[in-house]
Structure 1
Amino acid sequence: MSGLLLLGLSVLFLALRVNLILILIFVAGYSYYVWGGGELEYFAADLWSAMDRELVLAVPLFILVGSVMSRGSIAARLVAVMVALTRPIPGGLAVAAILSCAVFSAISGASIVTMLAIGTILYPAMLENGYTKSFSIGALAAGGTLGIVIPPSIPMIIYGIITESPIADLFKAGIGPGLLLTGVFSLYAVFVNRRMAISRLSLAELRGALVHGLPALLMPVILLGGIYSGYFSPTESAAVALLYALLIESVLLRELRFRDYFDITVDAAKMVGTLFPLIAIAASINLLITEHRIPHHIVEFMAQHIESQTSFLLLTNLLLLVMGCFMDTLSAITVAAPLLKPIAEAYGVNSTHLGIIMILNLEIGILTPPLGLNLIVAMTAFREKFSTVCWAALPFVVLMLICLLVITFQPWVAMYLVG
């Protein structure tokens, strides 16, 4: 009864367009009061515990990286290369947006920063060139999710640590799904915008874009090389990326001056101030769910009623899709990975394959309400209603579900490079 009341009130508040942070605070407070023994002070303690993690440090650093590259010219030069390459393709600018997100994912390792850095440049350009607002928002929000699939990916590293799976294998296994999603998004962009005008490929433009874009194109090489070689951790890679961006923009290209960094820092602080309360509240709800062992009971039920590998994979996908709607990616991996791995191995599912399936499901969760982080960020960045952003992302969610089924039941897509 209490759960139905909470659900009804949440739907009512959404219909009345109550601020999302206020709704989440209400949901968390109600949950702690009803199921947490009435000890509301635990809510405040859990908010702190949720944010007291080293990996959280990477968020403001990567947001700063995105702000520096957006205000400077690194992101713009990267986009220019992709735009020059895709001019002869119908919907070329949309394809350029998706390809830029894919390349930028190897720089940021995070979906939010990818969407912000590329979206800041290409969202106005797409609107000016006749792309619909709905398609533009959906393409950029979906392209941003590639940040957790294309290595280096922080969720992959967390999964590898928790399940003792080789992180190098997870990185290799992420390449195939990342390319598949990039290709499917690009084909969809071409299909939707097939009637748009195209232009001829200009070799002079492409050559100039490659020369000017070399610093941007080298950035993924430096980050991936440093992580693969063990010189720095994913969290440290955020600081390395920021230092590289500062040196390129301020020293080499001289696009930014000292006074520009005040506005950059203020903009990043505003975004962090918007995101951190949402992340903290969502993570605190997750702590309450974990304390009551709800995911554990669900997995136990699955273990008692599953009869085949196919049934296990279908139910696992369903479970992870639901978890992705209500939990942040890292928390969901922390809770579900150690519980699902032994069951998966009992049904002959490789641990690395399970990790990719889990990350793909949670990638979809980033684009699904009520706690889809990319939806919330897109709502803020593009200044649109939450419902508008949700509908814009829907076609891409369908495409991602199709890719998920392919990768689930055709493991070679992910495991080919792993061997």
Structure 2
Amino acid sequence: MGTWGKVVLWIAIATWVFQDAPTPGFILVATLMGAVLLGLPLFILIGAVVLVCFVFLSEGLSGHQELTLIIRKISELASKEVLLAIPFFIVSGELMTQGSLAQRLIDVAKALFGWVPGGLAVAAVFGCVFFAAISGSSPVTVIAIGSIMVPALIKAGYPEKFSIGLLTSAGSLGILIPPSIPMIVYAIMVSASTPVDPTDLFLAGVGPGLFIGGMLAAYSIYTGYRLRIPTDDFSASAIFREFKRGFWSLLLPVIILGGIYSGIFTPTEAAAVSVVYALVVELFIHGDLKPKQLLAVGEKSMTMMGALLLIMALAISLNHYLVLEQIPDAMVEWIREKNYSQVEFLITVNILLLLVGTVMDIMSAILILAPMLAPMSAAMGIHPLHMGIIFIVNLEIGYLTPPVGLNLFVSSTLFGKGLGEIIRSVIPTLLILFVGLVAITWVPSFSTALVDMIHAPAQKPAPQNQPEATPDAKPGVKSLQDLMKGLPQSDETAPKVKSLQELMQGLPPTPKAPPKVKSLQELMQDNQAPAPTENEPSQD
């Protein structure tokens, strides 16, 4: 059945559901699941659901107001500055893939780790870590590093299954090591309920990314030792040579991440800098990118951006409808009624996201689920950055799980293997990622420690029980309160200082109250009034 045939069938199913649907929420869930099972393109699915929800289900709206709301939400999305970072990072990744920046990063990693057991595999893992720090994309990382390292690993004596599985899994670090396109999308989607700074989310991903990368490296060392894979001799001169050759490649993540975290430029500006840097280095310094290749780079980048931004625009509108219908609030209230603890809630969220990751790509899951789960986690007292990293790590695993694991399809195409063979190759590394997910979920400091450390000086609380310094205060000059504290407090030598009210209360009472001071109007009235009689007391 073609795409349009599926669309017609889906409309027929949706119309039948609408007739007897008990609640709008039931309609929404039924239509979404029906469309997913039919395999409709995501932009058609979300766009149709948005129109149906606003036209048929919204209360108090009529005429053109529904479409006006959708257009306004899309316009608000387009006005977000951080959105510009996504196309810039996509273009930057394509430029580095077409040039030699990726190869030079791998050569540096091989020089650093080639002498340890499993050194070449460790170099492949950290090559993915280095490249992830400048690309922001998992599939791009798999293509750039995997196309170079898998043949090298097989040639060095590593099993083909191990080599493909390791690179397919290590490539998923591209969305966890900053900068990360999914992190930017997540920050945009939760901005209405639990605002998250993309820079802080980048910082939160460093610890978990290095932790999972270290676990994959340990697995590589174990495999190399078990298989007795020959290692290279340690050579300081080789390390120096590769660092010199890869200087411009290593400088890029320093500029990008250092500029973001030092406040020199924003993530959006950093993405633009990465494009200019990669273009200048590949064209004029390395000379490995030809001007005629720029057309192919632009074509691939625009195709990817067009699909992503269209889906984001429609998903923003769907999220707006969910907020109007108070669906996130209802879900939060349902969680509260269940009296879930934080542990039970996190277990539920992990299971949900792992299941979603098997049937939905990461961008779709973020666009649909993040606005609902973020306020629920905030209501449970979970740190927004911790929740964001849990979200990303779960969906990172989704890159490696069928039927829609994107890295599986990328590796299948890249290495010319069947999908089943690729799935079997990632099972050992997938188990390692599960262990990493459990550790990251139950140890929030993996995600929050670096952010807290960076922001600690700016958020240091003032010392307690000390007077707050005034802007004009000088060192060594005591305040009046400090001087009075230094006076002797003996009750016998120091008389009690009385207030004005106490002094007045101590005066002897006057026999006659002082005459009342009259106003000019009262004096004039007295002159006109008759004299008082003997039985009538004077007003004076």
Q: Same fold (TM over 0.5)?
A: yes
* Structure 1 residues 333 and 247, CA gap change in structure 2 (3 angstroms): same
* Structure 1 residues 272 and 109, CA gap change in structure 2 (3 angstroms): same
Separation in 1, partners of 2:301, 2:312: 17
- Aligned counterpart, 1:114: 141
1:100-128: CA deviations, max 9, x gaps? 11111111122122222212321222222
Match of 2:105 among 59, 67, 78: 78
Match of 1:380 among 390, 408, 413: 413
Separation in 2, partners of 1:390, 1:209: 35
SS in 2 for 1:370: coil
Q: Does 1:142 pair with 2:175?
A: no
- Aligned counterpart, 2:426: 393
* Structure 1 residues 251 and 331, CA gap change in structure 2 (3 angstroms): same
- Give the deviation of 1:240 after TM superposition: 2.4
Q: Does 1:226 pair with 2:262?
A: no
- Aligned counterpart, 1:266: 296
Cα pair 1:111 1:144 within 8 Å, conserved:
yes
Q: Does 1:183 pair with 2:210?
A: no
SS in 2 for 1:348: coil
* Structure 1 residues 387 and 28, CA gap change in structure 2 (3 angstroms): farther
Cα pair 2:207 2:446 within 8 Å, conserved:
yes
Cα pair 2:315 2:367 within 8 Å, conserved:
no
Separation in 2, partners of 1:120, 1:380: 11
Cα pair 1:283 1:327 within 8 Å, conserved:
no
- Aligned counterpart, 1:153: 180
SS in 1 for 2:451: coil
AA of the residue aligned to 2:373: L
Match of 1:351 among 378, 384, 389: 384
- Aligned counterpart, 2:115: 88
Q: Does 1:415 pair with 2:486?
A: no
- Aligned counterpart, 2:509: none
- Aligned counterpart, 2:23: none
Q: CA RMSD in A?
A: 4.0
Cα pair 1:173 1:414 within 8 Å, conserved:
yes
* Structure 1 residues 214 and 59, CA gap change in structure 2 (3 angstroms): same
SS in 2 for 1:416: helix
- In our comparison, the structure showing a higher alpha carbon Rg is 2
- Give the deviation of 1:184 after TM superposition: 0.4
- Aligned counterpart, 1:253: 286
SS in 1 for 2:382: coil
1:354-405: CA deviations, max 9, x gaps? 1111111121122222222222322333333222222222222221111111
Q: Does 1:204 pair with 2:242?
A: no
- Give the deviation of 1:227 after TM superposition: 2.8
- Structure 2, unaligned runs of 5 or more: 1-12, 14-28, 56-66, 453-540
Separation in 2, partners of 1:56, 1:380: 30
* Structure 1 residues 9 and 317, CA gap change in structure 2 (3 angstroms): closer
Cα pair 2:165 2:422 within 8 Å, conserved:
yes
Separation in 1, partners of 2:268, 2:150: 29
- Give the deviation of 1:261 after TM superposition: 3.6
SS in 2 for 1:418: helix
Cα pair 1:302 1:315 within 8 Å, conserved:
no
Separation in 2, partners of 1:136, 1:171: 29
AA of the residue aligned to 2:135: S
SS in 1 for 2:116: coil
1:140-169: CA deviations, max 9, x gaps? 222222122122223334444522134443
Q: Does 1:97 pair with 2:127?
A: no
1:259-287: CA deviations, max 9, x gaps? x3434643774687589769978997998
1:315-339: CA deviations, max 9, x gaps? 0111122222333434433433333
Q: More deviation in 369-378 or 227-236?
A: 227-236
**TM (normalized to structure 1)?**
0.78
AA of the residue aligned to 1:255: D
Separation in 1, partners of 2:312, 2:404: 8
- Aligned counterpart, 2:223: 192
AA of the residue aligned to 1:380: T
Percent identical across equivalent pairs? 39
AA of the residue aligned to 1:182: G
Match of 1:216 among 249, 271, 285: 249
Cα pair 1:60 1:268 within 8 Å, conserved:
no
Which structure has the higher relative contact order (CA within 8 Å, separation 6+)?
1
* Structure 1 residues 169 and 59, CA gap change in structure 2 (3 angstroms): closer
Cα pair 2:283 2:291 within 8 Å, conserved:
no
- Give the deviation of 1:10 after TM superposition: 9.4
AA of the residue aligned to 1:188: Y
Separation in 2, partners of 1:262, 1:64: 15
Separation in 1, partners of 2:360, 2:240: 45
- Give the deviation of 1:70 after TM superposition: 3.7
